[in-house]
Amino acid sequence: MTKSSELSAIERALSMLKPEQIAELMKDIPTQNRAYMIDYSARIRRLAINQLYFSSAIKPFQVDNFEDYKEHDEGIRQQVLSGVEL
């Protein structure tokens, strides 16, 4: 039996079930297994770094010249990447 025929057989079997029956089947599936868990830690870390950077960064119009802005921006970027709280 090929994978596509297995999937279509499963689809046919599920199409015959009512939503209540599907819910009854799903409650018996163990969800404590880590295989069903999605790890969002990398996304959460990336979003925290972005939020820290953008909450600390100055705007170019807030400094006298662009060189000062670039130096300040690079300093904040290095601190954020190293994990130092600003």
Q: What is the pLDDT of residue 25?
A: 81
pTM strictly above 0.75: no
Check whether residue 46 and residue 24 sit in a common domain: no
Check whether residue 47 and residue 24 sit in a common domain: no
Check whether residue 28 and residue 45 sit in a common domain: no
Q: Which amino acid belongs to residue 53?
A: Y
Give residue 52's domain range: 41-82
Asked whether 69 and 60 are in contact (CB, 8 A), the reply is yes
Check whether residue 59 and residue 32 sit in a common domain: no
Q: What is the pLDDT of residue 22?
A: 84
Number of domains in the chain: 2
Asked whether 86 and 79 are in contact (CB, 8 A), the reply is yes
Q: pLDDT per residue over 19-38, tens digit each?
A: 888 888 888 777 666 666 67
Check whether residue 70 and residue 45 sit in a common domain: yes
Q: What is the pLDDT of residue 49?
A: 85
Distance (Å, rounded) from C-alpha 38 to C-alpha 85?
Answer: 28
Distance (Å, rounded) from C-alpha 77 to C-alpha 17?
Answer: 55
